Amino acid sequence: MAETTTADDLLAALVKVVGDGQVTTGEAIAEDDTHDEALTVTPVTPLAVVRPRSTAEVAEVLRLADEARVPVTARGSGTGLSGAAVPVEGGLVVAFDAMAEILEIDTENHMAVVQPGVTLAQLNEALAPHGLVYPVFPGESSGSLGGNVATNAGGMRAVKYGVTRNQVLGLELVLPSGEVLRTGGKVVKATSGYDLTQLVIGSEGTLGLVTEVTCRLHPRLEHASTVLAPFATLDEVTAVVPEVVRSGVGPMIVEYIDMITMGAATAYVDLDLGIPEEVKDTALAYLVVVVEARTAERVEEDVALVAEMMAAAGAMDVYVLPTTAGAALIDAREKAFWVAKANGADDIVDVVVPRAAIPSYLARVSEIASGSGSWIAGCGHAGDGNVHLSVFQADPDVRRDVLRDVFRAGMDAGGAISGEHGIGTEKQHLFLELTDPAKVALMRRIKAAFDPHGTLNPGTLLD
Amino acid sequence: MAETTTADDLLAALVKVVGDGQVTTGEAIAEDDTHDEALTVTPVTPLAVVRPRSTAEVAEVLRLADEARVPVTARGSGTGLSGAAVPVEGGLVVAFDAMAEILEIDTENHMAVVQPGVTLAQLNEALAPHGLVYPVFPGESSGSLGGNVATNAGGMRAVKYGVTRNQVLGLELVLPSGEVLRTGGKVVKATSGYDLTQLVIGSEGTLGLVTEVTCRLHPRLEHASTVLAPFATLDEVTAVVPEVVRSGVGPMIVEYIDMITMGAATAYVDLDLGIPEEVKDTALAYLVVVVEARTAERVEEDVALVAEMMAAAGAMDVYVLPTTAGAALIDAREKAFWVAKANGADDIVDVVVPRAAIPSYLARVSEIASGSGSWIAGCGHAGDGNVHLSVFQADPDVRRDVLRDVFRAGMDAGGAISGEHGIGTEKQHLFLELTDPAKVALMRRIKAAFDPHGTLNPGTLLD
C-alpha cells in the first residue's frame, strides 16, 4: 500500500463510492469469498470485498486501489479451478454478484449483452424461449460470464462451437487507471486496430476488469442423440475421431472417458447404461459422441453413420442411448470434477495437446504416474485434445515434480499447460519455469501496458 | 536511420545474411513491390526489397534493421486494400515469396502448417485430395497466408466458418529484436498466458513478422446450392437474414448485392441469370444464399426451406441456380473490387456494422453520398454486417469528409471502420481521429511492448 494511504482511508473512500452495504471487511467476509474451487488453494481473507453496482463504481474503486497500490482480485461465481480468484492478503476483492443483469437479448443480430455476474444458467434460461443458446458449457452452469471471459472457458461443446474466445465479441473494460474502454461490439469481424477483446479473454483478471460482455448466440437445434462405444484401447478411440469429424456430421460433443472415470462417474450419479459386465471388464476407454441437427431424421442418419464408423474402427460394441440416458451420461461426465474431488484427488489439471497426440501423451502420463508412485485417471475432450487428469499424490513436493513432467510432456507434444482452467496462482511457478523466457518477458510488457503498477491479480499467471 | 550506420553498410550486411540474389535495390525493384492494391496509394520505392528464405534470415534482417532504425514493411502477395504493404521511403520491404512452402498437411488433427508466402489457391489445391478445405475465401485466392494473418482476412464464407482469426491457431513470430517466438499451436483452445496469436492477427505487420502459420482445416462438403432472390427494398433483404440463420440450415454464404453492383458485376463476367427485365428494373437489392451439406438430399431440403423463407419475406421471385450459374454468380460477386475499379471508383471501403443495422446504415450512407455530391454503391456480407462500398468522389478533400462521415456512422451503429481490409496507411488518420484516445494510447503501449523503436510498418494503423 502507498505510504500516504491507510487501510482505513481506503475503506472509507470505497464506502463513499459503492455505499456501506457493498463493502465487507474482517469477520463479515463470507468464507466462500476467500477461495475458488482449485483443490490446492489456501483461502485468504482480503482487506475487503467490494460489490459495485455499476461500471462507474468499478472504475472509481479500481482507481482508488491503484492509487493506493492495493491489489485487486476480480471474482465472478468463484467456480474457477486455478486459484485466479483467490484474494491477495491486504488486497480487495471486486465481486460482481451485484452486476448480474442481462442487458439485452438481440434476436436480430443473435447477440446478448450481459453484465459480468450473469451466470450461464441464467443466460440460457432467458434464451430458451427465443430458440437460441449460448453454446459454452464448461460443466458448471453457475459459472459467471465474467469468469468465463477471464479463463476463456471451454467445455464439451467446444468441438463444434469453439470456446469463450469464439463467442465473445465485445467488452466494456475498466483499466486500473479508472479508464473505461469499449472493445469490439456486435460484429463478428473487424480489422480496426489490435483486438483488445481477444487479448483480455483468458487473461485471468490481470489486464482489466470486465464490466459488460457482448456474446454471440446460436440456433438451439431441437434434435440430438448420443452414441457410446467401449474400446479395448485408447488408441482406437482417438483414431476414429478424425474420421467422425471429417465425415461432415459436425458432432457437438466428442469425449473420451477412461474405465476408472467411467465407473466412478456413473456410480456418482447412479447411472446404469446397461453395458454388459464382460465389456465393462475389458474396455479401457469409452468414446461418447453427441450429434445434433434441425430434424430428427438427420440426427438418426448421422448417428447411424457415426455408429458405423465406430464399429469399423474396432469398438467392442456401439450403443445409441435413449435421450434420458444420453443426457444422464453427459451429466455424469460434467460432474467429473466433483467425482474426482469426492474420490480424494489431490489436484485436477487440464493439459491440452493436438487431439491425435492424446494416446501417446496419455501413455507418457502413465509412465510419469507409475514412476512417481502416483495415480492419474482421466477423461477429456477427444475432439479437441483437452485432457482432464485427476492426480492422486498427497506429497506436495512429489506432486509438483509430477505436474512439471505432465505439463512438460504436453508442451513437448505441441500443446499447452491448460486448455480452459487457466494458470492462476496454482500453476504460475511451473508456467514461468516451462515457458520461453522471451515470451514471458513480452507478456510482462503487455501486462505493464494495461496495469503499470501491477494492481490486478498479482501472483496470478505472471509474478 | 541511426547515425552510425550508412545505407551501404546496412545493404552489405543484408546481402551477407540472405545472399546477393535476395536483395533488390534502386531501379531493379519491381514496380509491383512499391504498392498494394488500395486505390488511393502512392507507390514508394524503398531502400531495398529483401527476400529471406528462412526464419533465421528474417530474424537477422529484422535485428539489423531495428539496430539501424530503418523501417520494415512486410509483404505477402501485395493484394491488400489498405496501403499496409506500401514501403516506407528509405526503409526495407521484407517480401515472403521465397518462403512459400506448405510444411505440413496434418490429416489427423486437421491442421496445416505453412510458410507466410503460401497462397490461398496453393493451399486449397494441396488440400483437395484430402477432402479438406481452408475456408477463408477473401475474394482473392492469390493472397498469401501471411497477408491474411496481417489483415485478419474474411470473405464470403465468414458467416459459416468465421474469419482468419477463427482459423489460425499458431504462429512463429519474429520480433524487431530478432527474437523468435512460437505462439499457440495445433490446439483449438488454450488458457496459458496471453493469446499472442490473436493479438498479432489483424495487426497489419506492426507487431512482428510472421514466419509460420498453423491453421485449422475443415471437411470439404461435397454438395452446395445457390439461391438468389430479388427484393424491392434492402430492408426486406436484411429482415430475412436472422430467420435464415436461426433456421439451423447453417448457410455458407449470405450476401446482399445492390442493383447497380449486380448489373455491373454480371456484365463484367458476362453472366445472364435469366432474370426478367421487369424484375431487374424494380429490384433494389438481391439476396444470395449458398448452403452446403454432406448429402445432395440435405442441400435440396435446405434450399427449399431457404426459398420458402425468402418468398414469405416478400421476395419478388426466388431462383435456385444451377451449379454453374451459382458458381458464376459467386465469382462475379468476388470480383466486385475489380468491377468497382474498372468503373472508376475512387475508393473502396468495408465498414462493418451489426448485421441488422445494414438498412439504416445504408440509408445514412445514401444521405452522406447525396449530400456531398458523391456516388456510393455496394454489396456486402449480409450474414455478418460487412458492407463493401465503392465511393465515387474524385476530390480528395471532399472524399475524406465523406469517408469520415461514412466511418463515423458505422461506428455510431456499433460497428468498426473496417471488417477485413484493415486500416493501413490510407485510413490511419481517420482511425486515429475517430477512435477513443484512451484506446489508441493503450494500443500504442502494446505496440511499444513488441516494437520499442517503431521499426515495423510506421505510418500504418498507429503513427
Note whether A420 contacts B179, CB cutoff 8 Å. Answer: no
User: pLDDT at position B234, please?
Assistant: 86
Note whether A449 contacts B450, CB cutoff 8 Å. Answer: no
User: pLDDT at position B376, please?
Assistant: 94
CATH 3.30.70.2740 applies to domain A344-447: yes
Cα angle for residues A127, B358, B316 (degrees, 5° grid): 95
- Inform me whether the C-beta atom of residue B212 falls under 8 Å from chain A C-beta atoms: no
What pLDDT digit, counting tens, does each position of B130-139 carry?
999 999 999 8
Q: Where are the domains of chain A?
A: 7-98, 102-219, 223-337, 344-447
CB A455 within 8 A of CB A70: yes
- Inform me whether the C-beta atom of residue B165 falls under 8 Å from chain A C-beta atoms: yes
Distance in angstroms (rounded) separating the CA atoms of residues A368 and A374: 8
Note whether A165 contacts B192, CB cutoff 8 Å. Answer: no
| Percent of chain B whose predicted confidence (pLDDT) is above 70 | 99
Note whether B202 contacts A183, CB cutoff 8 Å. Answer: no
Going by C-alpha positions, the residue among B68, B422, B247 that lies closest to residue A110 is: B247
Going by C-alpha positions, the residue among A22, A292, A356 that lies closest to residue A157 is: A292
Q: Which of residues 24-83 of B touch A (CB under 8 A)?
A: none
Note whether B189 contacts A355, CB cutoff 8 Å. Answer: no
Note whether A448 contacts B448, CB cutoff 8 Å. Answer: no
Phi, psi angle pair for A421, to nearest 5°: -80, -35
User: pLDDT at position B395, please?
Assistant: 97
User: pLDDT at position B1, please?
Assistant: 56
CATH 3.40.50.300 applies to domain B344-421: no
Domains B7-98 and B223-337 in one fold: no
pLDDT score of A181 more than 70: yes
Which chain A residues are closer than 8 Å to B417 by Cβ? 192
Under the banding of pLDDT at 50, 70 and 90, the label for residue B39 is very high
Note whether B242 contacts A435, CB cutoff 8 Å. Answer: no
Pick among 2.130.10.10, 3.30.2350.10, 3.40.50.300, 3.30.43.10: CATH of B7-98: 3.30.43.10
What is Dmax (Cα atoms) for chain A?
Answer: 73
Among B182, B246, B435, select the one facing A193 at the smallest CB separation: B435
Distance in angstroms (rounded) separating the CA atoms of residues A422 and A445: 20
Provide the 3-class DSSP secondary structure of residue A184.
Answer: strand
Among A106, A354, A417, select the one facing B192 at the smallest CB separation: A417
Among B202, B415, B421, select the one facing A187 at the smallest CB separation: B415
What pLDDT digit, counting tens, does each position of A442-451 carry?
999 999 999 9
User: pLDDT at position B62, please?
Assistant: 98
* Chain B residue whose CA is closest to A195: B199
- Inform me whether the C-beta atom of residue B219 falls under 8 Å from chain A C-beta atoms: yes
Please provide the DSSP assignment of A16-28 as one string: HHH-GGGEEEGGG
For the beta carbon of residue A293, count every other beta carbon within 10 angstroms. 22
- Inform me whether the C-beta atom of residue B198 falls under 8 Å from chain A C-beta atoms: yes
Average pLDDT, chain B: 95
Among B154, B242, B443, select the one facing A194 at the smallest CB separation: B443
pLDDT score of A3 more than 70: no
Tell me whether residue B276 is exposed, middle or buried, using C-beta atoms within 10 angstroms of its C-beta: 0 to 12, 13 to 18, 19 or more: exposed
Which chain B residues are closer than 8 Å to A192 by Cβ? 416-418, 422-423, 431, 435
Which chain A residues are closer than 8 Å to B162 by Cβ? 166, 188-189
* Chain B residue whose CA is closest to A163: B189
Note whether A151 contacts B191, CB cutoff 8 Å. Answer: yes
- Inform me whether the C-beta atom of residue B415 falls under 8 Å from chain A C-beta atoms: yes
User: pLDDT at position A306, please?
Assistant: 95
Among B111, B202, B385, select the one facing A195 at the smallest CB separation: B202
For the beta carbon of residue B20, count every other beta carbon within 10 angstroms. 8
Note whether B242 contacts A108, CB cutoff 8 Å. Answer: yes
As for the ipTM of the complex, it is: 0.96
Average pLDDT, chain A: 95
Beta strands (DSSP E) in A246-341 are 253-258, 285-293, 319-321
> What is the CA B431 to chain-centroid distance, rounded?
17
Instruction: Tell me the count of A-B CB pairs closer than 8 A.
Output: 260
Note whether B435 contacts A204, CB cutoff 8 Å. Answer: no
Residue type, B403: L
Helix axes A437-450, B437-450, angle to 10 degrees: 160
Distance in angstroms (rounded) separating the CA atoms of residues A367 and B378: 61
Note whether A187 contacts B154, CB cutoff 8 Å. Answer: no
How close is the nearest chain A Cα to the Cα of B459, in Å?
13
Note whether B416 contacts A185, CB cutoff 8 Å. Answer: yes
Distance in angstroms (rounded) separating the CA atoms of residues B32 and B43: 9
| Percent of chain A whose predicted confidence (pLDDT) is above 70 | 99
Note whether B131 contacts A246, CB cutoff 8 Å. Answer: yes
- Inform me whether the C-beta atom of residue B412 falls under 8 Å from chain A C-beta atoms: no
Higher-scoring residue by pLDDT: B447, B267: B447
Which chain B residues are closer than 8 Å to A242 by Cβ? 107-110
- Inform me whether the C-beta atom of residue B296 falls under 8 Å from chain A C-beta atoms: no
CB B240 within 8 A of CB B309: yes
Q: Mean per-residue pLDDT for B263-278?
A: 89
**Distances in whole angstroms, Cα of residue B335 to Cα of each of A181, A235, B289, B325, B423:** 37, 47, 17, 15, 21
CB B41 within 8 A of CB B83: yes
User: pLDDT at position B245, please?
Assistant: 83
Which chain A residues are closer than 8 Å to B251 by Cβ? none
- Inform me whether the C-beta atom of residue B162 falls under 8 Å from chain A C-beta atoms: yes
Please provide the DSSP assignment of A201-268 as one string: TTSTTSS-EEEEEEEE-EE--SEEEEEEEEESSHHHHHHHHHHHHHTT---SEEEEEEHHHHHHHHHH
For the beta carbon of residue A238, count every other beta carbon within 10 angstroms. 25
Provide the 3-class DSSP secondary structure of residue B236.
Answer: helix
DSSP symbol at B128 = G
Cα angle for residues B205, B414, B247 (degrees, 5° grid): 100
CB B195 within 8 A of CB A165: yes
How close is the nearest chain B Cα to the Cα of A146, in Å?
15
Which bin fits A183, alpha (ψ -120 to 50), beta or left (φ > 0)?
Answer: beta
Q: Which of residues 312-341 of B touch A (CB under 8 A)?
A: none
Architecture, CATH, for domain A223-337: 2-Layer Sandwich (3.30)
What pLDDT digit, counting tens, does each position of A35-94 carry?
999 999 999 999 999 999 999 999 999 999 999 999 999 999 999 999 999 999 999 999
- Distance, first Cα to last Cα, chain A: 17
* Chain B residue whose CA is closest to A355: B109
* Strands B168-174 and B209-216, sheet pairing: antiparallel
Which chain B residues are closer than 8 Å to A131 by Cβ? 246
Note whether A195 contacts B191, CB cutoff 8 Å. Answer: no
For the beta carbon of residue B110, count every other beta carbon within 10 angstroms. 23
* Strands B92-95 and B72-75, sheet pairing: parallel
CB A213 within 8 A of CB A145: yes
Which chain B residues are closer than 8 Å to A108 by Cβ? 242, 355-356
How close is the nearest chain B Cα to the Cα of A206, in Å?
10
Provide the 3-class DSSP secondary structure of residue A136.
Answer: coil
Which chain B residues are closer than 8 Å to A461 by Cβ? 193
User: pLDDT at position A4, please?
Assistant: 62
Q: Mean per-residue pLDDT for B7-29?
A: 97
Architecture, CATH, for domain A102-219: 2-Layer Sandwich (3.30)
User: pLDDT at position B2, please?
Assistant: 59
Going by C-alpha positions, the residue among A59, A36, A58, A33 that lies closest to residue A47 is: A33
CB A319 within 8 A of CB A295: no
What pLDDT digit, counting tens, does each position of A255-270 carry?
999 888 898 888 888 8
Distance in angstroms (rounded) separating the CA atoms of residues B349 and B176: 31
User: pLDDT at position B3, please?
Assistant: 58
Under the banding of pLDDT at 50, 70 and 90, the label for residue B91 is very high
Provide the 3-class DSSP secondary structure of residue B214.
Answer: strand
What pLDDT digit, counting tens, does each position of A215-241 carry?
999 999 989 999 999 999 988 998 898
DSSP-assigned beta bridge partners for residue B227: B289, B320
> What is the CA A299 to chain-centroid distance, rounded?
29
Q: Which of residues 251-280 of A touch B (CB under 8 A)?
A: none
Which chain B residues are closer than 8 Å to A154 by Cβ? 189
Distance in angstroms (rounded) separating the CA atoms of residues B52 and B115: 12
Q: Which of residues 94-123 of A touch B (CB under 8 A)?
A: 106-111
B307, containing H or E segment = helix B296-312
DSSP symbol at B88 = P
